[in-house]
Structure 1
Amino acid sequence: MKILIITEYFPGSENCDIKGGVEARAFYLAKNLAKKHDVTVITSFDAGTLQNETISGINVIRCGKKRKYSQGGSFIDRLSFIFSAIKMGKRLDTDIVDGYNFISYIISYKISKFLHVPRVATYHDVWLGEWVTNVGLINGLMGELLERYVLSKKWDKFIAVSNYTKQKLKNKGICEDNISVIYNGIDLEKYTNSNTKEDNSICYVGRLVKYKKVDDLIKAVEIIKKDISGIKLNIIGSGPEEKNLKKIVIEKNLENNVKFLGFLKSHSEVMNYLKRAKLFSLPSIVEGFGMVTIEAVAAETPYVNSKIPPTVEITQNGVGGLVYEPENIAQLSECLKTLLEDDDLYLQKQFECKNLSKNYDWKELSNILEHEYLKIISK
């Protein structure tokens, strides 16, 4: 097959130094598919990368103005990418086009329509009716309009990253027969070494935005500190809430307990922190999948996550960690404290992590995707 993947961002090397779950999915599935098929990725022209290159057997074409990574705003740069990517894609010879995020859906639709080939939308979450709540008024209205446009178009297939996302698509009128579920995964080979855990350490990885509820995690650390004075929280990521979160840390005298590491460019560096942490925590109230939870599980780092549908689904309701009622800070702190103090339970959860991670191997997931593409093309 000749496969064209459209994703707003893509790694600049085989080291896969990624910034989020969308580009991780794009990279690893493309890498595995490229072993048997001709795979091309159209992505934005990230600063410090080459415009045309081959990475892990993938033909990578970068379009638009050179830009820095941004998950919000950057309207001019994004428009430049959209128009440039559509123009480039129309010149290619491909059998199928797969869009990986909201910006790339428009591009995928336009290219596939011009080339008369099947089109796929890989969907991570459905925010229709939730955009303004999740990202604010201006970005929210733009997202709302864009998603309404995307869902109004005819797609040969929606690929949802979870059954939770599939259900949300069905709720918005997408036919169940037109939705397949293929989970996100991990490169299990990167997690084969045993890891030394740092006592009383917790790690958070993700964007610093309101719906991630990192403030709840900081407030939980304040409670735990009363019994475990050496409690440590490493916060990896950046975002609009960073200033507010740092203010909370100062107000609660937690400067010696909470460390902001910012955005780490090297994914391997992020994984090293995750591997060394005693616990991982994702207190978010909005997720489409929660890929970093699976990475923590593969690193045999038990988690304490909010009990939202995607987490319940991918962890089989708490295998490998503990879940608590969203925004219940007292329950969050109690779960964290329990796993830090109960050695037998901690070892049990580590054992569960090892077995659960086997369900999320990119190699197996790429085989499922390959089969799905072949079915779509043969129609």
Structure 2
Amino acid sequence: MNILLVTEYLPTGKRPVFQGGVQARSFFVSEYLRKINNLRILNSNAGSIEASSISLLRRALFAIRVMLSPIDFKPDIIEASNTTTYFPAFILAKRLQVPVVAWVPDILGKSWLKNFSLPVAVAGYLAERLSMALSFNHFIAMSQATRKKLVNLGVNEKYVTVIYGGVEIAKMNKDRGEKDVRPTIISISRLLKYKRLSDLVRAVAEVKKNHPSVRCLIIGEGPEENNLKVQITKHKLQKNVFLLGNMPHDEAMVRLKRAHLFCLPSVVEGFGLVTVEAMAAGVPFVSAGIPATREITENGKGGLLFEPENVNDLAKKLNMLLDDKILYEKKIQEGLKLAKRYDWAIIAKQTEAVYRKAIASH
């Protein structure tokens, strides 16, 4: 099967650096699919493009390049993987007269207006709404929560298949090694407003009262970095909270395995890949109890859920797992068992099956 994947940015090399779940999913699924298919990737040359006003022009130029791109082979199927790529990939598919699938990690909806600068918010909101109204041959939703949002937008549910994100089970179960000496909480996330990492910093200030040596590692980059630095200084956590920036995925996974807890306070997630990676690594999580996280963890298997945006509840749940060794061990075993269902090899096969279905019905 000839597959053309249209994605805005995709890390390359033996040690890829992921800046979000879209990149990770596109990378791993493409790696598996190319083993038995002829797969080509059409993506931006940039390693990433921040959601800033100036980025709108670069994204527009990329969209034009996709629509007018000379393709040196005839794909059997085209997949578009985010808001920037949906419309141009759809136009390219019509031009080539081939079926096109939209992979949808999440529908931000009004969250665009709450969490981004006005030009980006308006452009993102309109692009998302208009793209989801296009007659794609099929939609792949990353969770049931995302599927519901698609159906609420008017997408016929018979054209929506849920395929979860995944994890490299064998690698994550291997060489878990020793834990850090200090009680360590880790978060791996883009530093965006809706990720609510400032809530984690404030919660660490509370946890420090019971665990003075607690350490919090935040891996990722983004526009919230300066705000986080202010919060760290304000709460006198310079020796407790560390912003490590981006790093290769394999290095981030080593850090994850050595940590005692993983935390994702985000209030907007279509899936939450790192939560599954944490479970597979035997690291209990403390995450905001939003619909997608409740879904993929089956209401908290492998960790504890806290009330979104409630710093006191977050600190309470972190302390519970640090203090209760029986509960901690129970959550490790729950996570290891649950994570087995999220395997990239299985997910790639499910994705390939959707492609074949779309081709057959075109």
Deviation at 1:224, TM superposition (A): 1.2
Q: Indicate yes or no: 2:25 matched with 1:25.
A: yes
Match of 2:97 among 104, 108, 116: 116
Q: Indicate yes or no: 2:188 matched with 1:205.
A: yes
Provide the aligned length of Structure 1 versus Structure 2.
357
Q: TM-score, normalised by structure 2?
A: 0.95
2:125 is matched with which residue?
144
Q: Indicate yes or no: 2:48 matched with 1:69.
A: yes
Deviation at 1:39, TM superposition (A): 0.8
Aligned residues with identical type, % of pairs:
39
Identify the structure with bigger relative contact order (alpha carbons < 8 Å, sequence gap 6+).
Answer: 2
Distance 2:93 2:23 in 1: 21
Q: Indicate yes or no: 2:219 matched with 1:219.
A: no
Change (3 A) 1:139 1:190: same
CA contact (8 A) 1:287 1:310 kept: yes
| 3-state SS of 1:359 partner | coil
The correspondence of residues 356-367 of structure 1 with structure 2, limited to 5 A, is 356-367=338-349
Q: Deviations over 1:287-310 (max 9, x none)?
A: 111111111111111100010000
Distance 2:70 2:356 in 1: 21
Deviation at 1:2, TM superposition (A): 0.7
Q: Which runs of 5+ in 2 are unaligned?
A: none
Deviation at 1:79, TM superposition (A): 2.5
Deviation at 1:16, TM superposition (A): 3.4
| 3-state SS of 2:210 partner | coil
Change (3 A) 1:89 1:275: farther
Deviation at 1:354, TM superposition (A): 1.1
2:265 is matched with which residue?
283
Q: Indicate yes or no: 2:135 matched with 1:154.
A: yes
Distance 1:87 1:327 in 2: 44
Distance 1:342 1:129 in 2: 39
The amino acid of 1:113's aligned partner reads: K
Q: Which runs of 5+ in 1 are unaligned?
A: 47-67
CA contact (8 A) 2:178 2:258 kept: yes
2:5 is matched with which residue?
5
The correspondence of residues 148-297 of structure 1 with structure 2, limited to 5 A, is 148-191=129-172, 192-198=174-180, 199-264=182-247, 266-297=248-279
CA contact (8 A) 1:90 1:111 kept: no
Q: Indicate yes or no: 2:92 matched with 1:92.
A: no
Distance 2:352 2:70 in 1: 21
Which one is further off, 89-98 or 343-352?
Answer: 89-98
CA contact (8 A) 1:90 1:114 kept: no
Q: Deviations over 1:113-136 (max 9, x none)?
A: 001111110001112233111223
CA contact (8 A) 2:265 2:287 kept: yes
Q: Deviations over 1:130-161 (max 9, x none)?
A: 31112232210010121122022111101000
Deviation at 1:91, TM superposition (A): 4.7
Deviation at 1:3, TM superposition (A): 0.8
Distance 1:321 1:112 in 2: 43
Provide the alpha-carbon RMSD of the alignment. Answer: 1.4
